Amino acid sequence: MKTIIKDSLGIIIVFLFAINNPAISQDNNWTHYRGSNLDGISNVENVPIKWEGDSNIVWKTDIHGKGWSSPIVFDDQIWLTTATEEGDELYAICLDFKTGEVLMDINVFSPDSVYRKHAVNSYATPTPCIEKDFVYIHFGRYGTTCLNTADGSTVWKRTDLECEHIQGPGSSPIIYKELLILHLEGIDVQYIIALDKSNGKTVWRTERPKKIYDPLEPIGKKAYITPLIVNVDGKDQLISNGAAVCIAYEPDTGKEIWRFVKGVDSTIAMPFSEDGIVYFYTGFNVPDEGSKYAELIAVDPTGHGDVGLTNILWRIETPVLQLLTPVIKDGLIYTIDSKSRMMCIDAKTGQTLWSERVKGKYNSSPVYASGHLYFSSTRGDVIVIKEGREANIVAENKLEGEIWATPAILRNSLLIRTSKYLYKIGE
């Protein structure tokens, strides 16, 4: 194992983390994909909306290899993952938040066998998650590990969670209380698993319903979503949207609460939630005649069993293969669909309030701060829009390289990962 460690890593301060507390502030740390609350929203007030050349670029650091995982932050440490193009070396990298200096560059896995992936994917796409003293690194079927953030040493490691992703790993882990929860849904197996975050041992494992999945062609059984925790009437639910069914589980036990059956194949965007309502994209719908489509669904999560006929508030048709997860803020859903249409949707009705055609592909999920939303494209463009019921693009920026990773936004700064660098943007 190759490890490069800086002599001084700074002082680790105490941070109280509870992923199921919706009131938690994420202006100081950014602990998961789409933030500590998994919603892409930051409470900071002074984030730049424009940058060019060296203006508002605090630092940029070259990141070797290829990876689409997002940066996560705890105290003065930034963590992300990368891999060789061939996927035979998988790395965890730690940088200094203030300077961008690489503190640790750790080869955590060297798989004996590497399987195919989609051309647009990487072998380091799942985003790590972090808390005080520990960072949890996940590469799908290639391995999951917990590292001590003080020195990069391995606390525990799992390489037995098999899954034929067929197009490479994509789902990110989440921390819930004393659990690390993973979504593994391939063409061969489909399950949700919770590990004891202190030792990596399995606490519960729940298989997707065989009655729903067995009739599907193997290629239609795969999904790449990151699950979400929501609180419903004082009890937490784990929302995990699979290829053919969205299921709410008890996060402590893995027991099913409700389900909605619809679609097949390649759900990618996370579920999202506001004001007690859960929203999610289905997989492909395949009508007898006409082209394939997906749906965006709004569901009241207070039901039990199959809620398809009882708890659906609205549903709208959307293009298939939605990669980015929308931001929902004050009753408005902001997104760019897979046909490059930027839009704002009324969360109560599903009505599209405005839409604008944009150039390029926007597969990185947007983030929000101080009345603005940041959308990043695979061409390195970053569009900034003002929140509201009318379209208002306030800035268009450019960074070197492609952007697939979702930015982190905290401490009046943006951390944006391109295919070449990690940038810190601030005033």
Please report the domains of the chain, with CATH numbers, ordered by start residue: 57-426 (2.130.10.10)
How far, in Å, CA of 319 to CA of 339, rounded? 7
- What pairs with residue 274 in β-bridges? 277
Q: Which of 361, 375, 372, 384 is nearest to 407 (CA)?
A: 375
User: How confident is the model at residue 323, as a pLDDT?
Assistant: 86
Is 163 in contact with 140 (CB distance < 8 Å)?
yes
Cα 175 from chain centroid (whole Å): 13
How far is residue 116's CA from residue 26's CA, in Å, rounded to a whole number?
36
| Rounded Cα distance, 414 and 180, in Å | 27
Cα distance between residue 361 and residue 370, in whole Å? 25
Name which of 104, 78, 101, 81 is nearest 91 in CA terms.
Answer: 81
pLDDT in tens, the chain (427 residues): 333 333 333 333 333 334 344 334 456 999 999 999 999 999 998 999 999 877 899 999 999 999 999 999 999 999 999 999 999 999 999 999 999 999 999 999 999 888 888 888 899 999 999 999 999 999 999 999 999 999 999 999 999 998 988 888 899 999 999 999 999 998 999 999 999 999 999 999 999 999 999 988 888 888 889 999 999 999 999 999 988 899 999 999 999 999 999 877 778 899 999 999 999 998 877 666 667 888 999 999 999 999 999 999 999 999 888 889 999 999 999 999 989 999 999 999 999 999 999 999 999 999 999 999 999 999 999 999 999 999 999 999 999 999 999 999 999 999 999 999 999 999 7
Beta-carbon count within 10 A of 135 CB: 23
Strand order in the sheet with 327-329: 327-329, 332-336, 341-346, 352-357
Instruction: Give pLDDT, residue 27.
Output: 62
User: What pLDDT shows up at residue 18?
Assistant: 40
Return the HEC string of the chain. Answer: CCCCECCCCCCCCCCCCCCCCCCCCCCCCECCCCCCCCCCECCCCCCCCCCECCECEEEEEECCCECCCCCEEECCEEEEEEECCCCCCEEEEEEECCCCCEEEEEEEECCCCCCCCCCCCCCCCCCCEEECCEEEEECHHHCEEEEECCCCCEEEEECCCCCCCCCCCCCCCEEECCEEEEEEECCCCEEEEEEECCCCCEEEEEECCHHHHCCCCHHHHCECCCCEEEEECCEEEEEEECCCEEEEECCCCCCEEEEEECCECCCCCCCEEECCEEEEECCEECCCCCCCEEEEEEECCCCCEECCCCCEEEEEEECCCCCCCCEEECCEEEEECCCCEEEEEECCCCCEEEEEECCCCCCCCCEEECCEEEEECCCCEEEEEECCCCCCEEEEEECCCCCCCCCEEECCEEEEECCCEEEEEEC
